[in-house]
Amino acid sequence: MSDVAAVAPVLDVDHVSVSFGGRTILDQVSFAVHRGEFTGLIGANGTGKTTLLRSILGLQRLDGGEIRVEGESLSRHNHPLGYVPQKVLLDPDIPMRARDFVALGLDADRFGFSRRTPAQRARVEEILRDVDAERFADSRVGSLSGGEQQRVLIAHALVSEPALLLLDEPLANLDPKSVQEIVALLHRVASEHHVAVLLSAHEMNALLPVMDRIVYITNGRAASGTTDEVVRSEVLSALYGHHVDVLKLHGRVLVVAEPGQDDAEIPEHPTLTVN
């Protein structure tokens, strides 16, 4: 837990609303994330997590509110953000080593071919070490397992020293041991690299030991704060619109709806792109 209350937030989501397809996807969502903090965006599928992340990335138009990154409102040209998307599975025939893919994170937006300075190459080495990807750095990105590719993507995002690292459901397809490893890695990244980490997940238990803040989202509405502040029956019931119980058992949390109500009533919405 870091003492960052006095410092300006890296990411300031200010009463953001988004609707499309005639539905309200996000409704006055507000929260802030600071450097060095590990924040979990927790919500079931279809609650608006991806839309929120896309809004932060500047890929989704807002219908209300504002998003500020490092104090400045979003523009496509100013991107101190690192992003690890969900489910990227690369073709093993792509002729690129993991090391080179990470290096591409330094300068993919520049013209021409790369001339990498020794300092840049050292930086790539350092990042590869940090995410524990050295052992397969010289293999083709596409030939790596899903978990290994994810580390490479994280390294790629980190190499340009972003202020904020966004991850879209990074834990979704991992086995429990890998989940632990990635969570530990991301926690390390947040504190050692002084980066704000925001990741989305539909299950909070794996993150409880390391989460500094939680943004709990359902039905497009969100509550944010520490886990103790947010994961309480009163707060979540207000969010859901009906009574839910929060059970804590052996350090794990279970959110349970009253019999007769269930989460299935919260309608799914298809993910639409707006271009």
Which residues of this chain interact with another protein, rule CB under 8 A?
21, 50, 57, 59, 76-79, 81-85, 87-91, 93-97, 100-101, 104, 107-114, 135-136, 138-142, 145-148, 153, 156-157, 166, 173-175, 177-178, 181, 270-273, 275
Query: Would you say 92 or 241 has its CB closer to another protein?
Result: 92
Contact indicator for 204, 253 with CB cutoff of 8 Å: yes
Give me the least distance between CB of 69 and another protein, in Å please.
Answer: 12
Determine the Cα–Cα distance for residues 151 and 206; give it in Å rounded to an integer: 18
Give me the least distance between CB of 65 and another protein, in Å please.
Answer: 20
Determine the Cα–Cα distance for residues 257 and 245; give it in Å rounded to an integer: 6
Q: How many CB atoms lie within 10 A of CB 160?
A: 17
Q: How many CB atoms lie within 10 A of CB 260?
A: 6
Query: Would you say 2 or 139 has its CB closer to another protein?
Result: 139
Contact indicator for 189, 165 with CB cutoff of 8 Å: yes
Give me the least distance between CB of 147 and another protein, in Å please.
Answer: 4
Q: 242 CB contacts (<8 Å, ≥6 apart)?
A: 257, 258, 261
Query: Would you say 254 or 272 has its CB closer to another protein?
Result: 272
Give me the least distance between CB of 172 and another protein, in Å please.
Answer: 8
Give me the least distance between CB of 45 and another protein, in Å please.
Answer: 14
Query: Would you say 53 or 257 has its CB closer to another protein?
Result: 53
Helices marked H in 118-273 — which ranges?
A: 118-130, 146-158, 176-192, 227-230, 233-240
